[in-house]
Structure 1
């Protein structure tokens, strides 16, 4: 996902100002609707094998096919179907709050199974959490 490539730019912007380092988080509070964040998210999801989806008025996804070795690992580990390949999914959701808008990000692998069901395998990464926090801060949010 190109979103992660934009995160160093956000970190540089944040580093150029006198402030504390943001808390590593997948959530942030914004005083107004974070339209610029969601436009950046959409723009970062325009590469080969990537698909941007608007789930509803408050949720967006970037879906990406995985490298062959990761795909094979997920299929074998989670009884996946080779006819319907696993994808990496980053989902951003905004929720109206009394102080503005809260944005939450989730990253997971979605593995379609032979039975027809799907398994969501969460991705945990402190590096990703720090990059998201820097991006949130660069876009005017406060990581929570």
Structure 2
């Protein structure tokens, strides 16, 4: 997943300075718009099978194809459509508020179906949440 490729870049930054371990989270508060975070997110979403999209006003998305066994599992269990393969999706959304900007991450599998809307299967992972908290902190945010 894209977050796992971003983390090595910031591991050195985090390792070189004494910091507390941020809580597992998918949200952070930034004083100013975190342009560097979104630029890094876009650059890291350039691998094979990945696609970056600017979904509109401060919404960015990286999707990627999944391994065959995961793809098959999702198609079979969520009535997927084999001609439109499921993908893993990470979406970052920035919202302006009184303190600056809040960034929220959504992680899910998007499973297109032959009829009806696609199913978005949430990805729950404390490991990924900890990685996001560390990334937010390395980029100058305060995990919430």
Aligned residues, how many? 144
Quote the offset at 1:7 in angstroms.
1.4
Matching of residues 2-17 of structure 1 within 5 Å? 2-17=2-17
Give me the CA root mean square deviation. 1.1
Corresponding residue SS for 1:62: strand
Q: Which residue of 2 aligns with 1:134?
A: 134
1:109 aligns with 2:113: no
Quote the offset at 1:19 in angstroms.
2.2
Q: Which residue of 2 aligns with 1:124?
A: 124
Quote the offset at 1:9 in angstroms.
3.5
Corresponding residue SS for 1:79: coil
8 Å Cα contact 1:78/1:111 also seen in 2:
yes
8 Å Cα contact 1:86/1:110 also seen in 2:
yes
Higher mean Cα deviation, 4-13 or 38-47?
Answer: 4-13
Q: Deviations over 1:67-94 (max 9, x none)?
A: 1111000000001000111011100000
Quote the offset at 1:115 in angstroms.
1.3
Quote the offset at 1:10 in angstroms.
2.2
TM-score by length of structure 1 reads: 0.95
Corresponding residue SS for 1:124: coil
8 Å Cα contact 1:36/1:139 also seen in 2:
yes
Distance across 1 between alignment mates of 2:3 and 2:131: 9
Corresponding residue SS for 2:79: coil
Corresponding residue SS for 2:25: coil
Q: Which runs of 5+ in 2 are unaligned?
A: none
8 Å Cα contact 2:65/2:85 also seen in 1:
yes
Distance across 2 between alignment mates of 1:27 and 1:112: 27
Distance across 2 between alignment mates of 1:107 and 1:128: 9
